[in-house]
Structure 1
């Protein structure tokens, strides 16, 4: 019999159950087989539960294995058995104890195990025939490649582990049922089944080795392609040595060479602002103005962008499309009407700081301070009037900027606020998302909110996340919506949609509910307010916007509410959308000082 390698010994320790059942009676095999098959089928479609069960099973297996070593010590009096026994028991207890907080170490553990086992296979190539060495080398390289992928994409790795564990558990249960049924009819078959099986066909082994190596290589290449082209922060976003305490101060500016609507030129800016808790901070953005001077002051549109992620590298000004006709409304109206635009990244994107995702004070202050900073750019002839536009998360930011302007930035003359497909009620949105977790992007939205709120509010932490979902939340918060790898987070979120909820408790309760409720903008808005909403919006459901508008109307807030039939979340911004003409005319009226009709009445 060939010598047992460290890889095989490790595998035996974390798969203790098959060995314990090798000589069990037929009725035990049938009973455990039926239970295991049902459990495996359930776990295969419930990944988060599967991870928890896998962690418990691994921990118990380690403890049992360690106790076995300690018992063996009495027979051979070996010090090695004592050390390994205590080590495995402690490892098992640590795994079981850690389950109460998170399974986030499971991904790196699997990655390390794959790399180590692959390395062990390669070290074993000194023995055996040339054919065996080639096959062993293929499997060893494959394990190392899969280990590298597991390290880079821990959320996807955990999902695959969970699925495979469920399928393998069901398969193991079926094999026990088969063995139990055979043993009941032919008792001698149990011994035969427990005996070592014959070596697999060399052709099958060659095919398996080649297939696994091909899949591993392809996965590694695809993973590397996903990681290419991600935004890279440069020194422009670093804080200067001397930063004034006053918000809205321009610190740095340089030409912006990204794609722009026709007839505009732009600069990238770095300026001071204020975080939600009143602490000074920095933000960045892009200022674009008509290339041809009309000989009169240029009114500013303050643009608040929608959801792009919560990581620092997600800043739109890092890329080439901070101000673009794609995903932004009425862009051709800027140069035609002689309007300029300042588009903030908000605090914490590009610059250091905590990104205020659906946190109204931080969002609104970043918008207002970008206007202040734009007025300090040399060579620009800007009018005092400002109109705020925002979409999705940016609609929430626009609502907050409009209501904060009189108290936080009375020097910024906001003459109108337009909130388009706005995430106006974060609490209602969170309740909707958690009740329909299978919707595409639902896991992203939950993860962004939890990450940002845990950074900003001391009474919220990632402990509010179910342990099995914590890795999903952390990985989602580290990605931008434009990254190719985000598709992994979206698909992982869909896969876990019918499993354990990401949040431990109802988002309407506790600290999370209280903070979400604090960030619902309720006015008043001294300047006219326009709210636009697509009736087919799949992200901000029209019913939520209807309820929000009804709430404002009941509170006596005058506004204009316009819906767009058949338009979804991004479709409402497309060039053929009627919203573009409505927004342009509404903005003209605001700059002209005309009164606005109140649709509440």
Structure 2
């Protein structure tokens, strides 16, 4: 009964606190390993004792390791699964009939689950808690049924039955079901990992570029024609690599796209095209999440009307920001880095010799890009006075940062975006450490979330993890300490000299309307002019 209860607790509470998870895993390992040591009902006992010893050793590691984390738990349980699975495979040589098949299938399943636990850390939480817990619960259930039926409990039996008595068709059926689950996990793992985006050599800084050039923001380093199903007919496109700066003037490189009507292409009766400087919404934090890299990257960044932009004779200059195509870290919801990336993309686009762009520029962004657009409007007069910003449009902008990253249970997808923000701030600001704000039981989950793009198939793992969390990822109040101070620093509260439009859907569950309205009211009280428009029934995208 104890084994059954321990297994059910693990399987049903995979994202409990780290302390609870440590206790449950250690107890399950001890009971499972101890039970194996007490068994004297089949040949192959020497191999089985090795597997039992691995379980007991894993329990010791889980409980004794200083500052044990979920990664430690995953590695310890993975080792127990691998050694236990290998022991079952070796023991199979001494068994017959269904017992041999059960040992082979069960051993192979344990090995596969152990490898998965090591290869995919956040999924290992599910392997550790759900699958390992289910396995423990099944073992306990068999003992409970045996006791109810009045059978002799095999773990305490004094006799040694024949080799063929190790198991039976019921046990083999359970092992086959477990193996099927393991195979599905492997197939899903391979399928999800196949489309992980990676930047190619275009995004590398050219070797012949001097440090002096890199220190000049807005310099075009490289360009080449860009083709994609998202480029509308009657348009030409290029991807660009250019110089920009991070906070406090640190040189960096960024990438982006330029999409212009054919009428603006030089050599074809070029007519200068008004520039829409597009700042995309959240695509991720990791290198490889740039819209110019992702398949369907414009849609991934919430740009879906580029055909209408081109029809009006406008050109779109779309920054990838720093760190999504080029070396990071990506300044996710960090105003200086985002705003400078967008302004310098416009500067670099004007250096293209293949297209004629007008000076007229409107900065236009959505969600994270709305935050970037607001910051570009704030920074333009001092950072890029040569870029003539005629207007700023912020659609559902991430304006109230402290409220946006807090409470993933209250905000749809909050844990995902919180993971991006924590990773970006910890990588950018020396006074911010993720260990100070993320509870121990959620740290590996947050790290793994930050390593995936929203357009990747594997992001479904992050989404399911976020939905399965039974408590916030925070160890305390994220609005306090260094992280909280930095969030407040990056709220776009400065003056925007150009005409400013903020648009908000009333059905938005990510950037909630009440928070946006509060932001706009605060800007108005500060004496700034904001054209604020709400759209009934419209969601975030």
Q: TM-score range by the shorter chain?
A: 0.7 to 0.9
Query: Is it true that 1:196 corresponds to 2:157 in the alignment?
Result: yes
Task: Tell whether the 8 Å contact from 2:146 to 2:153 is kept in structure 1 after alignment.
Answer: no
Q: What is the match of residue 148 of structure 1?
A: 115
Q: CA deviation at 1:49?
A: 2.5
Q: What is the match of residue 171 of structure 2?
A: 205
**CA separation of 1:322/1:492 partners in 2, compared to 1, >3 Å: closer, same or farther?**
closer
Q: CA deviation at 1:495?
A: 1.1
Tell me how far apart the structure 2 counterparts of residues 228 and 380 of structure 1 sit (CA, whole Å).
Answer: 36
Tell me how far apart the structure 2 counterparts of residues 154 and 303 of structure 1 sit (CA, whole Å).
Answer: 35
Tell me how far apart the structure 2 counterparts of residues 331 and 194 of structure 1 sit (CA, whole Å).
Answer: 69
Q: What is the match of residue 253 of structure 1?
A: 223
- Identify the match of residue 106 of structure 2 among 139, 142, 152: 139
Q: What is the match of residue 469 of structure 1?
A: 442
Task: Tell whether the 8 Å contact from 1:346 to 1:367 is kept in structure 2 after alignment.
Answer: yes
Pairing 1:345-364 to 2, within 5 Å after superposition: 345-364=320-339
**Per the alignment, in what secondary structure is the counterpart of residue 249 of structure 2?**
coil
- Identify the match of residue 393 of structure 2 among 418, 425, 429: 418
Tell me how far apart the structure 2 counterparts of residues 376 and 114 of structure 1 sit (CA, whole Å).
Answer: 59
The higher radius of gyration belongs to 1
**CA separation of 1:224/1:167 partners in 2, compared to 1, >3 Å: closer, same or farther?**
closer
Deviations 1:114-159 (A, max 9, x none): 3333333333343333654433222222222223332333213313
Tell me how far apart the structure 1 counterparts of residues 197 and 27 of structure 2 sit (CA, whole Å).
Answer: 44
Deviations 1:565-601 (A, max 9, x none): 000011xxxxxxxxxxxxxxxxxxxxxxxxxxxxxxx
Tell me how far apart the structure 1 counterparts of residues 136 and 85 of structure 2 sit (CA, whole Å).
Answer: 24
Task: Tell whether the 8 Å contact from 2:263 to 2:270 is kept in structure 1 after alignment.
Answer: no
Q: What is the match of residue 447 of structure 1?
A: 419
Deviations 1:283-331 (A, max 9, x none): 1011111013464321111111111110001111113434459932542
Tell me how far apart the structure 1 counterparts of residues 198 and 263 of structure 2 sit (CA, whole Å).
Answer: 32
- Identify the match of residue 297 of structure 1 among 272, 277, 286: 272
Tell me how far apart the structure 2 counterparts of residues 408 and 98 of structure 1 sit (CA, whole Å).
Answer: 50
Deviations 1:537-563 (A, max 9, x none): 011111111111001011111011111
Q: What is the match of residue 529 of structure 1?
A: 500
Task: Tell whether the 8 Å contact from 1:284 to 1:347 is kept in structure 2 after alignment.
Answer: yes
Instruction: Give the unaligned 5+ runs of structure 2.
Output: 34-53
Pairing 1:34-49 to 2, within 5 Å after superposition: 46-49=13-16
Deviations 1:350-406 (A, max 9, x none): 111210110001101111111111011112211112110100111001100110011
**Per the alignment, in what secondary structure is the counterpart of residue 286 of structure 1?**
strand
Q: CA deviation at 1:275?
A: 1.3
Tell me how far apart the structure 2 counterparts of residues 329 and 127 of structure 1 sit (CA, whole Å).
Answer: 64
- Identify the match of residue 386 of structure 1 among 337, 348, 361: 361
- Identify the match of residue 548 of structure 1 among 513, 519, 524: 519
Deviations 1:162-185 (A, max 9, x none): 3457778888999999999x9xxx
Q: CA deviation at 1:469?
A: 0.6
Q: CA deviation at 1:514?
A: 0.5
Instruction: Give the unaligned 5+ runs of structure 1.
Output: 1-17, 19-31, 67-86, 183-188, 571-601
**Per the alignment, in what secondary structure is the counterpart of residue 302 of structure 1?**
strand
- Identify the match of residue 308 of structure 2 among 326, 329, 333: 333
Q: What is the match of residue 83 of structure 1?
A: none
Tell me how far apart the structure 2 counterparts of residues 127 and 566 of structure 1 sit (CA, whole Å).
Answer: 68
Task: Tell whether the 8 Å contact from 1:324 to 1:331 is kept in structure 2 after alignment.
Answer: no
Q: CA deviation at 1:209?
A: 3.3
Task: Tell whether the 8 Å contact from 1:51 to 1:158 is kept in structure 2 after alignment.
Answer: no
TM-score (norm 1): 0.76
Q: CA deviation at 1:220?
A: 1.2
Query: Is it true that 1:482 corresponds to 2:458 in the alignment?
Result: no
Task: Tell whether the 8 Å contact from 1:100 to 1:467 is kept in structure 2 after alignment.
Answer: no
**CA separation of 1:542/1:359 partners in 2, compared to 1, >3 Å: closer, same or farther?**
same
Q: What is the match of residue 83 of structure 2?
A: 116
Tell me how far apart the structure 1 counterparts of residues 62 and 299 of structure 2 sit (CA, whole Å).
Answer: 50
**Per the alignment, in what secondary structure is the counterpart of residue 301 of structure 1?**
strand
Tell me how far apart the structure 1 counterparts of residues 526 and 368 of structure 2 sit (CA, whole Å).
Answer: 23
Pairing 1:50-449 to 2, within 5 Å after superposition: 51-56=18-23, 95-96=62-63, 98=65, 100=67, 102-129=69-96, 131-163=98-130, 195-196=156-157, 199=165, 202-241=168-207, 242-243=209-210, 244=213, 245-259=215-229, 260-293=231-264, 295-323=270-298, 327-328=302-303, 330-431=305-406, 434=407, 436-437=408-409, 439-449=411-421
Q: What is the match of residue 491 of structure 1?
A: 464
Tell me how far apart the structure 2 counterparts of residues 119 and 168 of structure 1 sit (CA, whole Å).
Answer: 17
Q: How many residues align?
A: 506
Tell me how far apart the structure 2 counterparts of residues 475 and 194 of structure 1 sit (CA, whole Å).
Answer: 40
**CA separation of 1:351/1:454 partners in 2, compared to 1, >3 Å: closer, same or farther?**
same
**CA separation of 1:177/1:335 partners in 2, compared to 1, >3 Å: closer, same or farther?**
closer
Task: Tell whether the 8 Å contact from 1:52 to 1:99 is kept in structure 2 after alignment.
Answer: no
**CA separation of 1:470/1:239 partners in 2, compared to 1, >3 Å: closer, same or farther?**
same
Tell me how far apart the structure 1 counterparts of residues 344 and 104 of structure 2 sit (CA, whole Å).
Answer: 60
Q: What is the match of residue 573 of structure 1?
A: none
Q: CA deviation at 1:55?
A: 1.8
TM-score (norm 2): 0.84
